[in-house]
């Protein structure tokens, strides 16, 4: 079995198509070689990097738009990279606390999830 993340041969010399991620707040750019070749996370390389960056730097890299859930009655909330876990968090919090939860994303209209939804 090949050590390459795509299971094929290494790219020809001089070809560098490794995906990169930038963060203007950190004034830095990274390639995803570690996520692809060492962690072998494939299509989830950007997601894995973004979550690790958030955990270590306190913010997401450029062009990563998280789904944000915020309880309207208490200080609980979180951020997710896909809609389904954000929706599930909002529904669960609303059901267990009877608090409405705001679900928001930069590319979608904000919604409120209530205890009866």
Q: What is the tens place of the pLDDT at every residue in 39-48?
A: 999 888 999 9
Residue 77 and residue 106 share a domain: yes
Residue 9 has pLDDT above 70, yes or no: no
Q: Report the alpha-carbon distance of residue 17 to residue 15 in Å, rounded.
A: 6
For residue 110, what pLDDT is reported?
A: 93
The answer to whether 100 touches 93, Cβ cutoff 8 Å, is no
Handedness of CA 39, 41, 42, 44 (dihedral sign): negative
Residue 7 counted as domain residue: no
Q: Give pLDDT tens digits for 67-76.
A: 999 999 999 9
Residue 72 counted as domain residue: yes
* Total number of domains in the chain: 2
Residue 12 counted as domain residue: no
Q: Report the alpha-carbon distance of residue 41 to residue 39 in Å, rounded.
A: 6
Residue 11 counted as domain residue: no
Residue 73 and residue 52 share a domain: no
Nearest Cα to Cα of residue 51 among 83, 82, 81, 86: 81
Residue 103 and residue 75 share a domain: yes
Residue 64 has pLDDT above 80, yes or no: yes
What are the start-end ranges of the E strands in the chain?
20-23, 28-31, 67-71, 77-80, 101-105, 108-113
Residue 5 counted as domain residue: no
Residue 48 counted as domain residue: yes
Residue 72 and residue 105 share a domain: yes
């Amino acid at each position: 079995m090949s050590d390459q993340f795509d299971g094929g041969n290494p790219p020809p010399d001089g070809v560098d198509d490794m995906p990169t991620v930038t963060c203007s707040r950190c004034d830095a750019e990274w390639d995803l070689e570690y996520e692809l070749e060492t962690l072998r996370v494939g299509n989830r390389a950007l997601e894995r990097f973004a979550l690790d960056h958030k955990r270590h730097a306190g913010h997401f890299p450029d062009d990563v738009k998280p789904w944000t859930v915020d309880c309207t009655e208490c200080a609980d909330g979180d951020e997710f990279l896909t809609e389904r876990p954000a929706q599930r968090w909002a529904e669960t919090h609303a059901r267990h606390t009877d608090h409405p939860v705001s679900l928001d994303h930069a590319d979608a209209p904000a919604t409120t999830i209530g205890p009866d939804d």
